[in-house]
Structure 1
Amino acid sequence: MKLKNIYKKSLAIDLIKMGHDLEHTMRNRNNEKYQVFVFPHTEQLERDIARLTGHGYVKK
């Protein structure tokens, strides 16, 4: 299973509210005061990220 790292806390919280499962969290390697939120990578996750960030979604 592929995983998707989310570095922005507010985006991660919005994705959780939308029903996406949080796989785990980990410390950011570059700055340990920040957390990285890890989600299972799905097409729906990509669509929701695009919608929340104001970008268009293009299926690969």
Structure 2
Amino acid sequence: MVESAPPGPGHLLRLRREGSSEALAAALTTRGEQLTARTRAMLSGAGRLDDYLGCGGE
């Protein structure tokens, strides 16, 4: 799966300065969802690696 690069901090600052509060809220919601998905994928991968290595939480 190929993801596009998330907007940088400048994008959110520009939205805050020039855009509507609804656009800023939508951008923040989208970014939060992206971060949550990435975090869940990393945790899932870490669990699989733990299983593969047979660490068993030790």
* Fold match by TM threshold 0.5: no
Larger strand proportion of the pair: 1
TM-score (norm 1): 0.30
Which has more radius of gyration? Answer: 2
Structure with the greater relative contact order (CA < 8 A, sep ≥ 6): 1 or 2? 1
TM-score (norm 2): 0.30
Larger helix proportion of the pair: 2
